[in-house]
Structure 1
């Protein structure tokens, strides 16, 4: 099998063209996951009555649902029920007017919320309980203790696991092509329908993902170095 560099280059350019869609599919769910995941993790670690159990059940159950299955369910619900809901709310927007990338973002966001909440919960549990008591002893409220003492120490502990989840989110973003969203993989293989060079198309997509992942890992290294000063090394 011969590797056609011209077809590879064309596929690479098409993949780059749709790279912004992948960025949206990664960073919007990541922002939502970090925000809601932190709230869920704090509620579970600090045992907020009722809420901690409900959130624990939700995370456990949802993590057992494959992302492709969830994506298909949300897409079907969107197509079948959006117009009815819009009519009930007297909204003139129809399902055909909405970019279905938002269905993919919704599905990936829920996945990110669950996985990131578990990563943050693990990081919170790794912090000595004496840190809470130290905060209370100097007159800080629970919220002030969490914000000023716990979270700054939690961040460097959570970063390695969070980066794994970000990389997983980058990979998971490719499944949205199942509902017709064009991202890196779908974009890179567009020329293949004309040139039949599917091998070059998938290699081009792999190269783009590889470069994207390398960039994320580099930024994580910089962030780890910056936040490491907040976590005391017991061997210092």
Structure 2
């Protein structure tokens, strides 16, 4: 077998043990980002006075600053000024950084999906005495989530690719595993080629999952 092929397979074998770490980072960060984006979107939709300003500041700050700087802020910066964050782990810092960053961008996905809901349904709901929160949870969000699925999957892909920065705070994910192997014998091209191929396969799997989910939802509707 070609020595380069053997080396690429070796890199794959060394990345696989770190794959669950990468997947956990993506899953937890995605969950946090969805919760934050939903909260910000609901606050904006109902135009809650004080909270709306706070949420707009959050979105502007995390969309206007680099992701790597945000990771450093959570892991190195906040523990130095706030005792609550002194016990934060590397994994938690990465999840917080990715989650807050993705949530700021995901707000637009939910906002567009909510605006796509027919206003006639809202007027009908209000006419029978439904409260704002009931209208949101029973009428708007169930329809908006279906519309937002393509955008949400794109956000998840961005989180997956953004997780490659986890190694900057010492998390051993698939990027760190490939980097360590490449540093051992300076075969950077082959190691990073293997890393890119693995990310590509993961993204293709997400896109395939999106297509299956959309078909099932369309069938149910």
Fold similarity call, TM over 0.5: yes
CA 1:229 to 1:61, structure 2 compared with 1: closer, same or farther past 3 Å?
A: farther
Where 2:49 maps in the other structure, the secondary structure is: coil
Shift of 1:141: 2.6
Aligned to 2:107: 117
Aligned to 1:54: 54
Where 1:205 maps in the other structure, the secondary structure is: helix
CA 1:229 to 1:217, structure 2 compared with 1: closer, same or farther past 3 Å?
A: same
Aligned to 2:178: 188
Aligned to 2:144: 154
| Distance in 2, Cα, partners of 1:164 & 1:9 | 29
2:169 counterpart of 1:179 = yes
Map 1:48-87 → 2, pairs under 5 A = 48-78=48-78, 80-81=80-81, 85=83
**TM-score, scaled relative to structure 1:** 0.84
Shift of 1:227: 3.0
Aligned to 1:138: 128
Provide the alpha-carbon RMSD of the alignment: 2.2
Shift of 1:127: 1.9
Aligned to 2:33: 33
Shift of 1:190: 2.3
State which drifts further: 53-62 or 152-161.
53-62
Q: Is the 8 A contact 2:26 2:159 kept in 1?
A: yes
Shift of 1:205: 0.9
Shift of 1:101: 1.8
Where 1:122 maps in the other structure, the secondary structure is: helix
Q: Is the 8 A contact 1:22 1:184 kept in 2?
A: yes
Structure 1: which 4+ aligned runs deviate by more than 4 Å? none
- The Cα offsets for residues 39-95 of structure 1, whole Å up to 9 and x where unpaired, read as 11011012122212321222122210110111122222255356xx26xx9xxxx75
CA 1:148 to 1:3, structure 2 compared with 1: closer, same or farther past 3 Å?
A: farther
**Could you list the runs of 5+ residues in structure 2 that have no partner in the other structure?**
none
- Number of positions where the alignment pairs a residue of Structure 1 with one of Structure 2: 220
Task: Identify, as 1 or 2, the structure richer in helix.
Answer: 2
**Could you list the runs of 5+ residues in structure 1 that have no partner in the other structure?**
232-236
